[in-house]
A and B are shown apart, each in its own frame.
Chain A
Amino acid sequence: MRISDLIKMGLRNLGRRKARTALTVVGVVIGTISIMLMVAIGQGINYNFEKQIMENGSMTIIRIYTYAWGENENGEYQEYQQVLNEELIAQLREIKHVKAVSPVMEKYIELYSGKYMTGISLKIMDCATFADFGFPALEYGTYPTPEQNETIVFGYEALNEFYYNNGRTYQTKTVDLAKDRVNFTFRDYDTTDVKKQFRYVVKDYAKIAACDQWEYGWYCYVDYEFYKELYTRYANTLKPADKKKAMESLERYDTIQINVDNMKHVTEVQEAIEELGYRTESDMQYIQPMLDTSDMLQKVFLAIGAVAFVVAAINIANTMIMSIYERTKEIGIMKVLGCYIKDIKKLFLFEAGIIGCIGGMVGVGLSYVAAYLLNEYGGAFLGSLMTIAGGEADTGAAYCIIPFWLPFAAILVAISVGILSGYLPARRATKISAIEAMKNEG
């Protein structure tokens, strides 16, 4: 048989039993809609989740703290003191997928501008890694570089609320670096009166542009090497005993911060560091179980969709078997008239495939409508699903997202399901003997 004849005959056969064909198609339509919506909801969850992670940032960052809590061999929690030094940094740089490693220190400093002052945290990091850790854009100035490392980077809130308090009046002011001179000092040890107090007058400065990451607000940033210089100068103003301690503190880091090239590798890198004998922390640790939950939820959704499809497949198989019973004589006649077995098989597979195809196409169309309705009116219900998945559902978000490949995949799946469920009936049809044509019961 020619393909064109096969198609014509297949369509004619489906047309002969319009109601039955339509009902079978409806089964596939429901299957397609359910699988498409389930995938779309899964995509929606993923999308919202990723969006939140993006907003939080720092998902790729691992931190090693000097003082870490962890379980010991006996399963008891205890505090560990870890030695974080240059040697360890060198080791960490060797680990695969590690993009950047920086020591991190945090010091309380007091900033002065005329009679106004404020206290703030100074974050000390290797300035060569600023870019790798994704520091935000600057409002003015430039980030320090290893060659030009004397820049103090102010957070976007750091210059607000300098205050003056003489006991009677309390005044605040926002410092303008272009006009006001600013100096600062450390407050780690009591200063002696003997020597002149340490004060560093800020020469090079930069300010971070306002952004939604809080860690760039009430902080100042400075390069580690430059900090060593400053701190050595500060130590020189201290009493001998304090000076020794201060100098020693420069050799150990509070924290080491590591940036991994991809979210997916965070766990892997953490494990590698733990093998070196260090305890680590990352936001990923807390997110991972949520990701797992969302992953599982999507699989559950897919399974629900698949169940509808299995029912549709059984339905198709049933329709085809019924159709073969009805057409036993016809198949016999076809055989007697010289139809190849292969063509009979093709005919039935084609009919089953067409049921799948029509069902798939109608299902895809209705899925878009359903997705629209769900996004528009289904917020309350789907929003609760999002919270199960660990995300916060905000109103107006897209709950169902149909990716461009999904309709094609759905139709393809529908056709395949049709053909697969038509396969056994089709084989059965080929086994019908030509004798059926010779029987004379009407």
Chain B
Amino acid sequence: MEETEPKDTNTKEEAPIIEIKNVKKIYRMGNERIPAVDDVSFAIKKGEFCCLLGTSGSGKSTLLNLMAGIEKASGGQILIKGKNIRKMNEKQLAKFRQKYLGFVFQSYNLLNSMTALENVEFPLVFKRIPARRRKRMAREMLVKVGLGSRMNHRPKQMSGGQQQRVGIARAFVAKPEIVFADEPTGNLDTRTTMEVMDLIKQVAKDNAQTIVMVTHDPRLAKFADKIIHILDGKIQSIETISHTMTEDTEEETTEKSEAEREENEEDEKENEKE
């Protein structure tokens, strides 16, 4: 797996960041075999906002879990940054998540015993980042999501929208290349939903991060660059939406992402030294 890394960096512009090939997930209920994800293949490019759209029970959440290595696929290949996550053991997966993945959950999944700041710090704790730097990073991130004044509040003292902002800050604080979002606005009202979606989109755009979002709400799908319609574990259609985005701005973001990426790599090296 290590060998593929240099090649990976050279060809990153062309190669998709996530590649799914003939992925299957079959649940066994006694003697019955229930295919939740049935022979699915697609690819997501770097910086893309991809939406998995489907009704409840369509297998979209399972697909997300498979991509994040939370569940083991029954068949097929899942390549993320060219690495087959199906072949990783628990330790490698944990390291992989620390480095490349962020998560936004429907029920926020904040730890109630911790303040907003500590919650945002949490993923950095696992990366063994020293406390001072960790706090700085978390503070910056909270300011970015507009919670600069609520850093020392506990989740219970905040509204749903605020909690999800903390969740978003936590997902993005380590500057992961991919952020998975599982019904991120499922528990929020319409107005807050739009705010939160805008926030996710904006933060991701700033860092050219790839977003994979699961939702059942077609209105949210409009935020995506690519919508994958899923029904009964199969892909029905893939639709690419061209936003009214000028070429200039796109280029700008790409350049910016390059700079960010380098900074990221430096960070990682530092981490490893520590």
Give chain A residues whose Cβ lies under 8 Å from the Cβ of B111.
Answer: 330, 333
Give the Cβ gap from B52 to chain A, nearest Cβ, in Å: 14
Q: Which of B12-20, B88-96, B195-203 contacts A (4 or more CB under 8 A)?
A: B88-96
Asked whether A442 is an interface residue with its Cβ less than 8 Å from the other chain, the reply is yes
Q: Add 17 more A-B contacts to A9-B125, A338-B127 (CB < 8 A).
A: A1-B125, A2-B128, A12-B113, A329-B109, A330-B111, A336-B68, A336-B97, A338-B96, A338-B97, A338-B99, A340-B94, A341-B90, A434-B68, A435-B65, A435-B70, A437-B105, A438-B65
Give chain A residues whose Cβ lies under 8 Å from the Cβ of B207.
Answer: none
Interface size on B, residues (CB 8 A): 34
Q: A338-B98, A435-B71 are contacts. A442–B123 as well, Cβ < 8 Å?
A: no
Give chain A residues whose Cβ lies under 8 Å from the Cβ of B90.
Answer: 341
Instruction: Determine whether the beta carbon of A336 is less than 8 Å from that of B70.
Output: yes
Give the Cβ gap from B257 to chain A, nearest Cβ, in Å: 22
Partner of A337 from B65, B97, B99, B128 at Cβ < 8 Å: B97
8 A Cβ contacts from B99-129 to A = 99, 101, 103, 105-107, 109, 111, 113-114, 122-123, 125-128
Give the Cβ gap from B206 to chain A, nearest Cβ, in Å: 21
Give bound CA distance, A437 to B65, whole Å: 11
The dominant DSSP class at the A interface is helix
Give bound CA distance, A421 to B97, whole Å: 31
Instruction: Determine whether the beta carbon of A340 is less than 8 Å from that of B186.
Output: no
Instruction: Determine whether the beta carbon of A442 is less than 8 Å from that of B107.
Output: yes
Q: Top 10 A-B pairs ranked by shortest CB distance?
A: A338-B98, A338-B97, A434-B70, A337-B123, A339-B126, A338-B126, A340-B94, A333-B109, A5-B125, A440-B107
Q: Which positions in A face B, CB cutoff 8 Å?
A: 1-2, 4-5, 9, 12-13, 16, 329-330, 333-343, 433-435, 437-438, 440-442
Asked whether B182 is an interface residue with its Cβ less than 8 Å from the other chain, the reply is yes
Give chain A residues whose Cβ lies under 8 Å from the Cβ of B127.
Answer: 338
Asked whether B131 is an interface residue with its Cβ less than 8 Å from the other chain, the reply is yes
Give bound CA distance, A340 to B91, whole Å: 6
Give bound CA distance, A339 to B97, whole Å: 9
Asked whether B61 is an interface residue with its Cβ less than 8 Å from the other chain, the reply is yes
Partner of A343 from B106, B114, B126 at Cβ < 8 Å: B126
Give chain B residues whose Cβ lies under 8 Å from the Cβ of A5.
Answer: 125, 131
Give bound CA distance, A333 to B105, whole Å: 10
Give bound CA distance, A341 to B106, whole Å: 24
Closest B residue by C-beta to A337: B123
A sample of 6 cross-chain residue pairs with beta-carbon separation below 8 angstroms, ordered by A number, consists of A2-B130, A329-B109, A335-B94, A337-B123, A340-B94, A440-B107
Instruction: Determine whether the beta carbon of B70 is less than 8 Å from that of A339.
Output: no
Interface-central residue, B70, B95, B182, by most chain A CB under 10 Å: B70
Give the Cβ gap from B103 to chain A, nearest Cβ, in Å: 5
Interface-central residue, A336, A338, A340, by most chain B CB under 10 Å: A338
